[in-house]
């Protein structure tokens, strides 16, 4: 159990996000900086999709009631444990009564991820549409569908028993206020005047303060459309750069609408997702066009970096019944994030479309 003494600017429970519900208009949601989120989990012996905290700008103050391991990754918001500065990107032991706090951003990113061995579970309930991620506008997921508040108490999932607790990520990413984001042109670069591509790739754009989990809004030279900004509403993706009528680009993020009616000039590559999520309001960015091949190679390199941290944490649980994800709990009603073979049976609730049935899952070696 942990207690939130102070909630900070905007602290939410997030995991890797919702998959498979965009066709119902449900945003992807989830950790904006997925690399840092996954890394935090691996550093605490968790499966990489275990719910963690995403803290923005001024982080929370948290009191632990048990000995455990935590990790802090992503942007550097100056974390301390019991008043002593601690490193990001490594496993940190905490004791019962320890207090983690943050004194504020240092210019190296704006979003920190805090994981704990076993994972943070908002209110011990079932996940919503296959994810524990908080979706603030829809008021669902995470801790009762909202950001954490002072005084909230969070439950900790079951920790991996054999976790050694001494991991460090070598050569972690750093984030600044003058970044280059690599892009692939499209899907609708042909709907802009040819000079617009030149403008996009040769100008500096400023990150505005009204950026949020939905989108990163930029200020800079206008990107001119050939024949107006509107398209028949179509799909979106993380990192796609849409350009409304005012010609100012908006880079769409995790909580973006699943459909959009503005032309989209280019898309930030997956390997630069962390940089994009950590952009500091007031900072500058430039864009550089790369090929599909290069984008995939960069992503592969990033995955290699993460796999250096991977330890065997059992089989990740991703069980679906007729395509619908179901939540599985162990015999203590704790969400099971990975199958521990020492447990013989797990429980899950499945629905036949009319009512819920509790079933038992037996796992054999």
Residues engaged in binding another protein (CB under 8 A): 19-27, 126, 128-129, 137-138, 140-141, 183-188, 232-240, 257-259, 264, 267-270, 292, 295-296, 299-300, 303, 324, 350-351, 353-354, 356
Nearer to another protein, 237 or 363 (CB): 237
Minimal distance in Å, beta carbon 150 to another protein? 26
Minimal distance in Å, beta carbon 125 to another protein? 9
Nearer to another protein, 10 or 265 (CB): 265
3-state secondary structure 288-351: EECCHHHHHHHHHHHHHHHHCCCCCCCEECCCEECCEECCEECCCCCECCEECCCCCEEEEEEE
Torsion sign across C-alpha atoms 233, 238, 242, 244: positive
**Encoded tokens for 275:** 């940089």
Nearer to another protein, 93 or 137 (CB): 137
Cα dihedral 38, 44, 49, 53, rounded to 10, equals -80
**Encoded tokens for 343:** 């447990």
Nearer to another protein, 304 or 342 (CB): 304
CB 183 within 8 A of CB 198: no
Minimal distance in Å, beta carbon 235 to another protein? 3
Minimal distance in Å, beta carbon 213 to another protein? 15
Minimal distance in Å, beta carbon 310 to another protein? 15
User: Cα-flanking dihedrals φ and ψ of residue 94, to 5°?
Assistant: -125, 150
Nearer to another protein, 24 or 362 (CB): 24
Residue 115: its H or E element: strand 111-116
Nearer to another protein, 25 or 245 (CB): 25
Minimal distance in Å, beta carbon 299 to another protein? 7
């Amino acid at each position: 159990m942990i207690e939130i003494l102070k909630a900070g600017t905007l602290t939410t429970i997030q995991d890797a996000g919702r998959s498979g519900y965009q066709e119902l208009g449900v945003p992807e949601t989830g950790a904006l900086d997925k690399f840092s989120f996954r890394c935090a989990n691996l550093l605490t012996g968790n499966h990489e999709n275990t719910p963690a905290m995403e803290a923005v700008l001024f982080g929370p103050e948290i009191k632990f009631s048990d000995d455990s391991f935590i990790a802090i990754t992503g942007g550097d918001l100056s974390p301390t444990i019991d008043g002593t500065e601690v490193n990001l990107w490594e496993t940190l032991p905490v004791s019962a009564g320890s207090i983690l706090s943050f004194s504020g951003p240092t210019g190296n990113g704006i979003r920190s991820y805090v994981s704990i061995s076993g994972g943070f579970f908002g209110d011990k309930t079932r996940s919503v549409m296959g994810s524990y991620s908080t979706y603030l506008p829809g008021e669902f997921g995470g801790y009762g569908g909202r950001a954490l508040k002072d005084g909230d108490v969070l439950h900790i999932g079951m920790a991996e028993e054999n976790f050694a607790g001494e991991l460090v990520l070598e050569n972690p990413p750093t984030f600044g206020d003058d970044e280059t984001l690599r892009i692939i042109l499209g899907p609708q670069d042909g709907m802009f005047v040819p000079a617009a591509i030149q403008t996009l790739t040769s100008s500096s754009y400023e990150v505005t303060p009204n950026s949020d989990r939905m989108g990163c809004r930029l200020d800079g030279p206008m990107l001119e459309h050939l024949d107006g900004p509107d398209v028949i509403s179509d799909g979106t993706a993380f990192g796609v750069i849409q350009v409304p009528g005012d010609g100012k680009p908006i880079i769409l993020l995790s909580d973006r609408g699943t459909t959009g009616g503005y032309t989209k000039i280019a898309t930030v590559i997956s390997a630069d997702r962390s940089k994009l999520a950590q952009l500091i309001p007031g900072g500058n960015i430039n864009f550089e066009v790369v090929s599909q091949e290069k984008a995939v190679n960069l992503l592969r390199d990033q995955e290699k970096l993460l796999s250096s941290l991977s330890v065997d944490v059992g089989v990740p649980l991703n069980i679906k019944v007729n395509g619908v994800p179901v939540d599985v709990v162990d015999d203590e009603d704790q969400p099971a994030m990975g199958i521990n073979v020492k447990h013989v049976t797990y429980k899950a609730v499945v629905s036949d479309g009319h009512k819920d049935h509790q079933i038992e899952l037996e796992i054999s070696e």
